[in-house]
């Protein structure tokens, strides 16, 4: 299979979505000049060009795209060519209303925006395949083509009758018989038993709480239905260009796709990431997405397909990035394994829904601060590329994450709506990040033998294979630290006897799990050494050490944190300093050390290949102790013992021989 290296060839891809169809053609020459000035070596084109390429059914207008790809090639700029299937033209919905998605109440989602397609619609799929076929046939031999970009941010859900038929086929393949479906879904509850497949529908709007197993399988089905759309287009372009890598861009921590399954079908794993510039932990969020995407890429290089050079347009208040933050986040992505750093979009739009979404060339033009910073980033990435492209990031700690357990925790009849799976994931990753420990992500059924420590923020739903994997990991000498409400349900969202899988209770030394005690918003519970938030549990220890006990309320004196050998169980969410302390203690016991000791608050250190990236996410200058002698490959400066970093400053250090 082709890989990202086939597109980068020792470079870091730098550029962004280029939408020249929004501009007069005379603008294109100006774009080429500015791209060369900024060090752009890659542009993504055609993402939302379906109506331009196919203005009416069956008609093709490739002339403008021919001229554009020839122009970019003449200026040494590679093309990531997109299939335009994320935005069907208005004529499709008008002529074929069956292609339009319907919401949970049966209301049609009309054209006038984007993503207005039913993934199960044979008509939509046929039109998508036809335009992909013609696009691939026409540009397969074009020298500018470096990568294929299929669709864009797959996110469409549909509850229509065609989806119902597709859902029934998916269920029949999964369960075989209606009787097996009834058993898996527990339909004896509330008289929900199905007699024939025809009675099964998507989980549409209902009178009261819907069957959580039904909802869970519909989430699984929707991810798979969208994946079918992706693989159909991927197979077409791969047939024409087996040497060209293929990607589609994930949204960060998007609940609608099982990205473990999707990443296995991609040559290049790419993501769109937009940290809030006002978020004091925006750098940690950016690191989390980088660590997760790199892990989906099997630990190899990945690509930022979209980020913002300035403000976005979809938050309540859309703030620009302060000077230096764009550079910091871009170089941070490289530190976490990215071999492509791109933007939405090249030139800021003057019309349409995203005219207030920033571009590499903003409304202020080439003389604005944004473009000046873009030029600096392009120059530094060009210098870094030969040294860093293709290298890997070492991680001795893995964070376990699974979309199926996330989906299961979103059920309507749960114990606490204050407990949100992504926030738990972010809290545990934050503790590792602030402790200076580089993390990877893994699926609970992955081989975990390469990690000294594995942490589980929460895995409510676990398969038998996953449970056995965790037990075997600890038996093999690994350190496991698990958060609350883990191992509670099986794959069908059936509660395990005793409220937690008995193998896990034995692993953690839990005798009896009497009751779950969720906490109200803002409520805390005192524990030895920290305050607990969100959750608590009424546990009895069997043969485990009580690391921390509850010190107030109904659970006073009962264990809050248990440890049995190398297995830790944390029955609440410690406040940030407390969780950091616990994970730091467990990591030290597992032989995991920070990349740099004693980092100031807000400073991150990551090793990639032979380079040490030191990044200051704070708004004030800092001094960082750096034992040994290094040279900053960005500036050429020699660093011995101490490193001065300005606000949002970055140093990329190569160790010097003594």
Task: Give pLDDT, residue 222.
Answer: 98
Active site residue 153: yes
Is a pLDDT exceeding 70 seen at residue 435? yes
Confidence band for 658, pLDDT divided at 50, 70 and 90: low
Task: Give pLDDT, residue 633.
Answer: 96
Considering the candidates 54, 162, 266, 306, report the single residue annotated as catalytic.
306
Segment 404-412 shows an average pLDDT of 97
Is a pLDDT exceeding 80 seen at residue 103? yes
Residue 284: which of 441, 434, 437, 435 has the closest Cα? Answer: 434
103-140 burial, b if ≥16 CB within 10 A, otherwise e?
eeeeeebebeebbbbbbbbebbbebbbebbbebbebbe
Pairing of strands 530-533, 524-527: antiparallel
Considering the candidates 54, 153, 373, 537, report the single residue annotated as catalytic.
153
Is a pLDDT exceeding 90 seen at residue 342? yes
Confidence band for 352, pLDDT divided at 50, 70 and 90: very high
Cα–Cα distance list, 35 to 241, 305, 347, 535 (Å)? 27, 17, 10, 52
The whole-angstrom separation of Cα 211 and Cα 328 is 46
3-state secondary structure of 465: helix
Task: Give pLDDT, residue 534.
Answer: 98
Task: Give pLDDT, residue 364.
Answer: 96
What global pTM score does this model have? 0.97
Residue 75: which of 143, 11, 148 has the closest Cα? Answer: 143
Task: Give pLDDT, residue 7.
Answer: 85
Task: Give pLDDT, residue 552.
Answer: 83
Residue 231: which of 264, 203, 199 has the closest Cα? Answer: 264
Active site residue 26: no
Q: Which residue has the higher pLDDT, 10 or 263?
A: 263
Cβ atoms of 129 and 236 within 8 Å: the answer is yes
Cα–Cα distance list, 411 to 146, 167, 216, 578, 640 (Å)? 42, 19, 8, 29, 54
Q: What are phi and psi of 577, to 5 degrees?
A: -65, -35
Segment 247-268 shows an average pLDDT of 97
Cβ atoms of 247 and 342 within 8 Å: the answer is no
Residue 478: which of 460, 456, 500, 459 has the closest Cα? Answer: 456
The whole-angstrom separation of Cα 629 and Cα 213 is 58
What is the tens place of the pLDDT at every residue in 160-191?
999 999 999 999 999 999 999 999 999 999 99
What is the tens place of the pLDDT at every residue in 536-580?
999 999 999 999 999 988 999 999 999 999 999 999 999 999 999
Task: Give pLDDT, residue 6.
Answer: 86
The whole-angstrom separation of Cα 324 and Cα 342 is 17
Segment 89-99 shows an average pLDDT of 98
The 8-class DSSP code of residue 225 comes to: H
Task: Give pLDDT, residue 9.
Answer: 85
């Amino acid at each position: 299979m082709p890989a990202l290296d086939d597109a980068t060839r020792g470079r870091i891809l730098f550029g962004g979505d280029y939408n020249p169809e929004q501009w007069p053609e005379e603008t294109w020459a100006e774009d080429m000049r500015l791209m060369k000035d900024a060090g752009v070596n890659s542009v993504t084109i055609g993402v939302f060009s379906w109506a331009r390429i196919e203005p009416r059914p069956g008609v093709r207008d490739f002339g403008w795209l021919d001229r554009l790809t020839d122009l970019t090639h003449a200026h040494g700029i590679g093309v990531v060519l997109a299939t335009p299937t994320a935005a069907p033209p208005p004529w499709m919905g008008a002529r074929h209303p069956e292609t339009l998605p319907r919401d949970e109440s049966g209301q049609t989602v009309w054209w006038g925006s984007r993503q207005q397609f039913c993934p199960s619609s044979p008509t939509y799929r046929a039109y998508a395949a036809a335009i992909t076929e013609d696009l691939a046939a026409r540009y397969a031999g074009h020298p500018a083509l470096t990568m294929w970009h299929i669709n864009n941010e797959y996110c469409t859900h549909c509850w229509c009758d065609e989806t119902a038929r597709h859902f029934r086929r998916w269920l029949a393949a999964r369960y075989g018989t209606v009787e097996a479906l009834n058993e898996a879904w527990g339909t004896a509850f509330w008289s929900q038993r199905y007699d024939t497949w025809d009675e099964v529908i998507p989980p549409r709007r209902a009178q009261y709480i819907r069957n959580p197993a039904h909802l869970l399988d519909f989430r699984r089905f929707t991810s798979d239905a969208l994946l079918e759309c992706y693989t159909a287009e991927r197979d077409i372009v791969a047939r024409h260009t087996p040497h060209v890598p293929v990607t589609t861009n994930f949204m960060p921590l998007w609940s609608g796709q099982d990205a473990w399954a999707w990443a296995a079908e991609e040559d290049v794993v790419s993501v769109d990431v937009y940290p809030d510039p006002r978020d004091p932990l925006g750098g940690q969020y950016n690191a989390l997405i980088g660590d997760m995407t790199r892990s989906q890429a099997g630990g190899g290089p990945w690509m930022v397909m979209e980020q913002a050079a300035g403000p976005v347009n979809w938050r309540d208040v859309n703030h620009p990035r302060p000077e230096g933050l764009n550079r910091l986040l871009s170089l941070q992505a490289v530190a976490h394994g990215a071999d492509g750093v791109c933007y939405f979009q090249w030139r800021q739009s003057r019309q349409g829904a995203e005219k207030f979404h920033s571009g590499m060339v903003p409304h202020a033009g080439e003389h604005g601060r944004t473009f000046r910073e873009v030029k600096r980033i392009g120059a530094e990435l060009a210098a870094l590329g030969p040294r860093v492209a293709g290298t890997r990031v070492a991680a001795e700690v893995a964070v376990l994450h699974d979309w199926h357990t996330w989906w299961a925790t979103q059920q309507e009849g749960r114990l606490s709506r204050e407990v949100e799976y992504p926030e738990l994931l972010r809290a545990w990753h934050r503790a590792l990040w602030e402790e200076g420990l580089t993390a990877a992500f893994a699926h609970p059924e992955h081989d975990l033998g390469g990690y000294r420590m594995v942490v589980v923020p929460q895995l409510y739903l676990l398969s038998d294979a996953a449970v056995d994997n965790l037990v075997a990991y600890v038996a093999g000498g690994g350190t496991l630290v698990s958060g609350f409400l883990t191992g509670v349900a099986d794959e069908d969202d059936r509660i395990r006897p005793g409220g937690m899988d008995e193998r896990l209770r034995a692993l953690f030394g839990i005798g009896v799990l009497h009751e779950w005690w969720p906490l109200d918003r803002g409520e805390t519970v005192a524990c030895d050494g920290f305050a607990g938030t969100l959750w608590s549990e009424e546990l009895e220890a069997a043969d485990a050490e009580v690391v921390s006990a509850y010190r107030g309320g109904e659970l006073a004196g009962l264990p809050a944190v248990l440890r049995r050998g190398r297995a830790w169980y944390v029955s609440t969410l410690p406040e940030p300093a407390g969780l950091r302390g616990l994970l730091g203690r467990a990591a030290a016991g597992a032989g995991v050390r920070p990349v740099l000791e004693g980092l100031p608050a807000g400073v991150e250190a990551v090793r990639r290949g032979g380079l040490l990236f030191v990044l200051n996410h704070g708004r004030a200058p800092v001094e960082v102790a750096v034992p040994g002698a290094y040279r900053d490959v960005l500036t050429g400066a020699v660093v011995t013992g101490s490193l001065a970093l300005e606000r949002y400053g970055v140093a990329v250090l190569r160790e010097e021989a003594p």
